């Protein structure tokens, strides 16, 4: 059995987004040649939450196992962090959903594996790439990870090529200058 995955890499110098119909066409082609999976990555794939659900469901029905690569911030957003990012979460279709609802919808759409990519550009580790105002607090990431574990992710998949259903990678290029819990705490303003 061919245990290959496919991905669509975009040219960062050409800021074009593929239509859902074009991606479905590519899914069909990948399925027809025997691929077994698709990775949804970005940027942040949850920024296109509704399309992500549709495409994950479609790829699952075409026997392509979907994997989402995320920093977890939009999935686990809560408290002040959620309020500060209401515009982004509204645009993504996530503001009125809680973490459990988001995780369940991804599972129901056929997402079999989630990779959390957490590095200094996604947390409040100070670096050239981030600051405390646009950072993803580790508490939000932890909340998302815990909910995926509650939904049964974290086990080894039966197809060896897939491995574990939940993975976390982290790297640091800066120092932790500010506790991340200050980002999520409710403030009386």
The pLDDT profile of the chain, 189 residues, written as one tens digit per residue, is: 333 344 444 444 444 678 899 999 999 999 999 998 899 987 789 999 999 999 999 999 999 999 999 889 899 999 988 988 888 899 999 999 999 999 999 999 999 989 888 765 554 433 334 444 457 788 888 899 999 989 988 776 665 555 556 666 665 545 445 555 555 566 555
DSSP annotation of 103 reads H
Q: Is residue 175 part of a domain?
A: yes
Q: Is residue 117 part of a domain?
A: yes
pTM: 0.78
pLDDT of residue 185: 63
Q: Is residue 47 part of a domain?
A: yes
pLDDT of residue 14: 46
For the chain, the C-alpha Rg in angstroms (whole number) is 17
Q: Is residue 173 part of a domain?
A: yes
What b-and-e string marks burial along 21-39, b requiring 16 or more CB atoms within 10 Å of the CB?
eebbebbeebbeeebbbbb
Q: Is residue 3 part of a domain?
A: no
Q: Is residue 11 part of a domain?
A: no
Count the domains in the chain. 1
Q: Is residue 6 part of a domain?
A: no
> Domain span at residue 43?
19-184
Q: Distance of CA 48 to CAs 42, 43, 94, 98, Å?
A: 10, 10, 10, 17
Q: Is residue 63 part of a domain?
A: yes
Token readout for 114 is 């989630």
């Amino acid at each position: 059995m061919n245990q290959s995955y496919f991905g669509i890499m975009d040219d960062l110098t050409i800021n074009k987004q593929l239509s859902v119909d074009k991606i479905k066409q590519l899914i069909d082609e990948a399925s027809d040649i025997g691929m077994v999976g698709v990775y949804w990555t970005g940027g942040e794939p949850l920024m296109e939450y509704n399309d992500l659900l549709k495409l994950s469901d479609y790829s699952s029905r075409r026997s392509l196992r979907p994997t989402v690569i995320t920093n977890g911030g939009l999935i686990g957003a809560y408290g002040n962090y959620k309020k500060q990012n209401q515009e982004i979460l509204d645009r993504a279709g996530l503001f009125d959903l809680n973490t459990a609802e988001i995780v369940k919808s991804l599972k129901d759409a056929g997402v079999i594996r989630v990779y959390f990519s957490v590095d200094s550009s996604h947390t409040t580790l100070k670096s050239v790439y981030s600051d405390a105002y646009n950072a993803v607090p580790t508490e939000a990431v932890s909340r998302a990870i815990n909910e995926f574990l509650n939904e049964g992710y974290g086990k080894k998949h039966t197809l060896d090529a897939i491995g574990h259903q939940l993975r976390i990678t982290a790297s640091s290029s800066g120092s932790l200058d500010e506790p991340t819990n200050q980002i999520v705490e409710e403030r009386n303003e």
